[in-house]
Amino acid sequence: MAVLMSVVYGVAIAWTLKLLYAIWWKPKAIEKKLRKQGIHGYPYKLIYGNTTEMMELAKEKGSEPVEQPHDIVPRINPLLHDLATAHKKSFVVWYGTTPRVAIMEPNLIKEVLNNKTGDFPKPEINSFTQLFVTGLASYNGDKWAKHRKIVNPAFHVEKLKHMLPAFVVCTDEMISKWRKLVNFMGSSEVDMSVEFQNLTGDVISRAAFGSNFEEGRLIFLLQKEQGRLFLQSQMNINFPLLRFLPTKVNKRMKHINREVGSLLTRIIEKREKFIRAGDHKDDLLGLLLKSNLNEVEVNKNSDGGMSMADVIEECKLFYFAGQETTSNLLTWTMIVLSMHNEWQERAREEVLQVFGNNKPDYDDLNRLKIVNMILLEVMRLYPSTSLIRCTKKETKLGDMSLPAGVQLFMPLHIVHRDKEQWGEDVMEFKPERFSEGMFKATKDKVSYFPFGWGPRICVGQNFAMLESKLAIAKILQNFSFQLSPTYTHAPHAAVTLQPRYGAQVILHKLGECA
Ligand code: HEM
């Protein structure tokens, strides 16, 4: 008995020491190392880090009116704003026990995002996130390289041209629905964020699954619910263990995961049979499967390609990575063009000049210079999300030596508003910054990267830009618009940057349907 008790005590003491190390000694040791190098921030607090201060400040300042509508950082993350103002180069914020070091200098951002030796991988995702989505965006090393090589050809510009008709069908459906709405009264209020969520979901469903569009739409709805449940589950920071219990939310998430898996398996198996019989479709799934089969053939074994489970994850990722991001870009563009009527007019003039009232084709869309500049400027001021990497071992970055276990984050909404890079008018909406292209605007520095940078740059950026140009062009052809008195400008950073209370815009009818 005494021996058993001493074993129990021994295990309990070892476990307690391990826990203390993880929640106190390790964070404090990292904090000390960072401070010695001039990387400061709010002090680390047991278990919660700076999350309490972050939430309190957001509550306090989140409802304060902003002087300049595009000066959104003090609103969406006041703690980051204060730290970025005090420490121009770099600072640290504690998300629980994890230190996040902000990197804001273009040279350092380039060093991190261009790194090809694996020094700055993506942080590992937890088992719960895995239920929601994995795929290319979360892998590292050889697995990432293999998947990227297979996925890349599906997004080639030449292939996108074949997907344009699918984009047109979805956009036309949305426009004719709006025409019906405004036909009666001459104008109508529409919540753009809801409309574009549906549009971008439909576009991915059609572009990815072609003739299996209806099944694709069902997958989209299930993934949308999964996203909502996932966010709900992440809120339980007070009870992290709740994630592992058979709660209603957890059970539903597992069920959705199985259902989406079996829907996708059915579609994929059917497609593989067709491809083997020589019947190939140029939608994302068809291209992905073809590229995968090529890889298997070149390597003469199945290890060269992706498994069924891998293909399922990549399809789920198309929705996650491509739908909300593009929907946000379109939503903010409509809000900003409603605020800056002169740009709305200039963009409409260009659209009418390029297309008249005809259907836009691929080359015409590429001739829309003003619309392109507007989209780039909207992504400068309202970027979708920030980028994160981590260190696995003590790693040099510029003149810093970062300990293992640090996350590096590159806050786009702060870097995109750096006066040193962009000038005193940084808070103003000025699409003309991009009149000579994206890289001239930033003098070739990594101070603008809404789609990321380097080897992991967004695989779907051309897809998103084509889809957005088409949607904005069709809207400008058919309607003029203004903000509704019910709209409140309250950008809010959830997983992506969204208008907290919706994006109510009033549409006015313009001419006959195009
Ligand atoms: C306006 C729309 C979009 C924005 C702003 C956007 C933004 C980004 C960013 C910033 C990254 C890099 C993340 C990082 O380095 O940590 C990324 C990666 C990625 N995006 Fe997009 N994206 C958009 C649309 C799309 C679309 C339409 C798709 C696919 C249908 C897509 C698929 C992906 C994938 C698969 C990755 C991971 C690439 C890799 O890790 O190799 N994105 N996106």
**pLDDT at 249 > cutoff 90:** no
110 and 104 in contact (C-beta within 8 Å)? Answer: no
Ligand 1 in reach of 284 Cβ (< 6 A): no
What is the bridge-based pairing of β-strands 98-103 and 407-410?
Answer: parallel
- Residue 241 CB-density burial (10 A; 0-12 exposed, 13-18 middle, 19+ buried): exposed
| Pick from 512, 506, 445, 452: nearest CA to 480 | 506
What is the bridge-based pairing of β-strands 40-41 and 387-390?
Answer: unpaired
Would residue 36 count as lying in a domain? yes
Ligand 1 in reach of 464 Cβ (< 6 A): yes
- pLDDT tens digit sequence for 419-471: 999 999 999 999 999 999 888 888 778 999 999 999 999 999 999 999 999 99
- Residue 46 CB-density burial (10 A; 0-12 exposed, 13-18 middle, 19+ buried): exposed
Domain region containing 19: 1-115+385-438
- pLDDT tens digit sequence for 269-323: 988 888 888 888 889 999 999 899 888 877 766 567 899 999 999 999 998 898 9
pLDDT for 302 equals 59
Q: If you average pLDDT over residues 179-184, what whole number do you get?
A: 91
Instruction: Please compute, for residue 353, the number of CA atoms within 13 A of its CA located in the half-sphere on the CB side.
Output: 11
Per-residue confidence at 241, pLDDT binned at 50, 70, 90?
low
Query: Could you give the C-alpha distances from 500 to 76, 332, 403, 494, 511, in angstroms and in order?
Result: 10, 12, 37, 9, 33
Would residue 1 count as lying in a domain? yes
Ligand 1 in reach of 121 Cβ (< 6 A): no
Per-residue confidence at 154, pLDDT binned at 50, 70, 90?
very high
Residue bearing the bigger pLDDT, 152 or 130 = 152
Ligand 1 in reach of 160 Cβ (< 6 A): no
**pLDDT at 186 > cutoff 90:** no
Q: If you average pLDDT over residues 134-138, what whole number do you get?
A: 93
230 and 365 in contact (C-beta within 8 Å)? Answer: no
| Pick from 280, 317, 376: nearest CA to 139 | 317
* Cα-to-centroid distance, 412 and ligand 1 (Å): 14
Number of domains in the chain: 1
- Please tell me the distance from the alpha carbon of residue 475 to that of residue 144, in angstroms, as a whole number: 38
pLDDT for 282 equals 84
Q: Whose CA is nearest to atom 41 of ligand 1?
A: 456
Would residue 513 count as lying in a domain? no
What is the average pLDDT value for the chain, to the nearest integer?
Answer: 91
* C-alpha of 504 from chain center: 23
Ligand 1 in reach of 459 Cβ (< 6 A): yes
Would residue 24 count as lying in a domain? yes
134 and 317 in contact (C-beta within 8 Å)? Answer: yes
| Pick from 390, 491, 376: nearest CA to 103 | 390
- pLDDT tens digit sequence for 324-373: 999 999 999 999 999 999 999 999 999 999 988 788 899 999 999 999 99
* Cα-to-centroid distance, 322 and ligand 1 (Å): 7
pLDDT for 347 equals 98
Would residue 303 count as lying in a domain? no
Please name the residue that has the structure tokens 């740059």. 457
**pLDDT at 210 > cutoff 90:** no
- CATH code at position 422: 3.30.43.20
The answer to the question of whether 458 is labelled as a binding residue is yes
* C-alpha of 479 from chain center: 28
What's at 475, amino acid-wise? I
Would residue 235 count as lying in a domain? no
106 and 446 in contact (C-beta within 8 Å)? Answer: yes
Which of these ranges, 122-136, 184-198, 249-263, has the smallest mean pLDDT?
A: 122-136
Would residue 99 count as lying in a domain? yes
Angle at which helices 341-355 and 308-339 cross, to 10°: 120
- The verdict on ipTM greater than 0.95 is yes
Would residue 391 count as lying in a domain? yes
- pLDDT tens digit sequence for 35-68: 999 999 999 999 999 999 998 988 888 777 667 8
**pLDDT at 91 > cutoff 80:** yes
Phi, psi of 130 (to 5 degrees): -60, -30
